Chains A and B, each alone.
Chain A
C-alpha cells in the first residue's frame, strides 16, 4: 500500500524525489476505491491523469469515453429536429424564430454543419419568403438571408439549404432557423405530408 497523506488543517510541502521515470500519484476518493486524479513525474512535469494501477491499490480501469476525452477524440456533437405537428405560418416582416427549429450543441473549437429541408409558400404571388440561420444570435447568411420568391399564388417551393459555420469556440452553442416574409402570409410546411427537418452537427 503506498504512503498515504490524509487531509488535515495544516499546510505542508510534499516533496517527491523519486527516479526520473518514477511517478507521484495524487489520489482521491474512498480508501476502498482509489483513483488517480493527477500524476507528476520526478521533475515536476504533470502527467495526463490516468487510473491507479492495481498493484498500487487502484482499479487500473478507464472508460472508453474518458480515454477519448483525455486524447481529445470525443465524438462530434449533433442534434436534429423533425416537425410534423402542423404547418407554421407567419406574417412577420422581421426575422423571427421558426418554432421548434433550435438545436443546442456543446462543441469543441470546431465548426458546425447545419441544414434544413422544408417546403415554403406565400399566399401572394411575387412576394418573398426569407430564411436565415442564427448561431448564438449571429446571422450566418447576411443581414437579410436566403430569398425565395413565390411565383404562383400559394404554390409550394423547396426552401431547403445547408452550409457550414466558421470554427466556434469550445462550449455551448444555440443554432436556430429564422424566417420572415416581404408581406402577406408565409407558410412553412411541417405536417405528416411534408415533414420539416433541421439539423446541426459538429465537424471534427
Chain B
C-alpha cells in the first residue's frame, strides 16, 4: 500500500530525522507496525519518506506498507555472504489509508 499525504508541519526547530521520528510516532510505529529499522536485520512492515518543506508549504509524506512477506536479501562481500538485510513483512492488521492520514493530520501546524 502506497499513500502520499500533505500536512502543514513546522519542523524548523529540529532536524529532518527528528521530524520523521515524530511522524513515525504519530503513525503508531512500534513492534507490531514497524516503519523504521533500528538495526540492519530488523523485520519491518513499511517505510516513511518525507519532504520537509518549510511553511507555508506542506510536508509531503509517503507511507509504504508491505502487503507481502519478503525474505531478507543476503549481503555479499568479496563474493561471500556476510549477513542479511532487513526482512519485509506484512503487518498483522493492515491500517486503512484514512486512519493513517487522520493520524498525520494531528501533526498539522501545531508543530511536532
Residue ranges of A at the interface with B (Cβ–Cβ < 8 Å):
85-94, 96, 99-100, 123, 127, 154, 181-185, 187, 190-191
- Residue among B36, B42, B49, B57 making CB contact with A85, cutoff 8 Å: B57
| Contacting pair B40 A183 (CB below 8 A) | yes
| Contacting pair A187 B51 (CB below 8 A) | no
Rounded to whole Å, the gap between the CB of B41 and the closest CB of chain A is: 8
- Residue among B15, B48, B86 making CB contact with A90, cutoff 8 Å: B48
| Contacting pair A90 B49 (CB below 8 A) | yes
| B17 part of interface (Cβ distance < 8 Å) | yes
| B16 part of interface (Cβ distance < 8 Å) | yes
A91 to B16, CA, bound (A): 12
Contacts of A91 in B (CB 8 A): 20, 24, 35-37, 47-49
| B19 part of interface (Cβ distance < 8 Å) | yes
Contacts of B50 in A (CB 8 A): 88-90
Rounded to whole Å, the gap between the CB of A142 and the closest CB of chain B is: 11
- For chain B, residues 54 to 102, give those with C-beta under 8 angstroms from any C-beta of chain A: 54, 57, 59-60, 62, 64, 85-86, 88
**Looking across the interface, which residue of chain A has its beta carbon closest to that of B47?**
A92
Q: What total of chain B residues lie within 8 Å of the partner, measured CB to CB?
A: 31
| Contacting pair B36 A185 (CB below 8 A) | yes
**Looking across the interface, which residue of chain B has its beta carbon closest to that of A187?**
B16
Query: DSSP class of A's interface residues: helix, strand, loop or mixed?
Result: loop
Residue ranges of B at the interface with A (Cβ–Cβ < 8 Å):
15-17, 19-21, 24, 35-40, 42, 44, 47-54, 57, 59-60, 62, 64, 85-86, 88
Q: A87-B52, A90-B49, A123-B17 are in contact. Are A182 and B85 (CB under 8 A)?
A: yes
**Looking across the interface, which residue of chain B has its beta carbon closest to that of A85?**
B53
A89 to B21, CA, bound (A): 10
Rounded to whole Å, the gap between the CB of A180 and the closest CB of chain B is: 8
| Contacting pair B42 A183 (CB below 8 A) | yes
- Residue among A87, A94, A185 making CB contact with B88, cutoff 8 Å: A94
Contacts of A87 in B (CB 8 A): 16, 51-52
**Looking across the interface, which residue of chain B has its beta carbon closest to that of A122?**
B17
Q: A93-B85, A183-B40 are in contact. Are A88 and B52 (CB under 8 A)?
A: yes
**Looking across the interface, which residue of chain A has its beta carbon closest to that of B48?**
A91
20 contacts between A and B (CB under 8 A): A85-B53, A86-B51, A87-B52, A88-B50, A89-B20, A89-B50, A91-B20, A91-B37, A91-B49, A93-B37, A93-B47, A99-B49, A100-B51, A154-B17, A182-B40, A182-B85, A183-B36, A183-B42, A184-B37, A191-B54
**Looking across the interface, which residue of chain B has its beta carbon closest to that of A186?**
B17
Contacts of B60 in A (CB 8 A): 99
- Residue among A86, A94, A100 making CB contact with B57, cutoff 8 Å: A86
| Contacting pair A93 B44 (CB below 8 A) | yes
| Contacting pair A184 B38 (CB below 8 A) | yes
Contacts of A90 in B (CB 8 A): 47-50
A88 to B15, CA, bound (A): 11
A187 to B86, CA, bound (A): 19
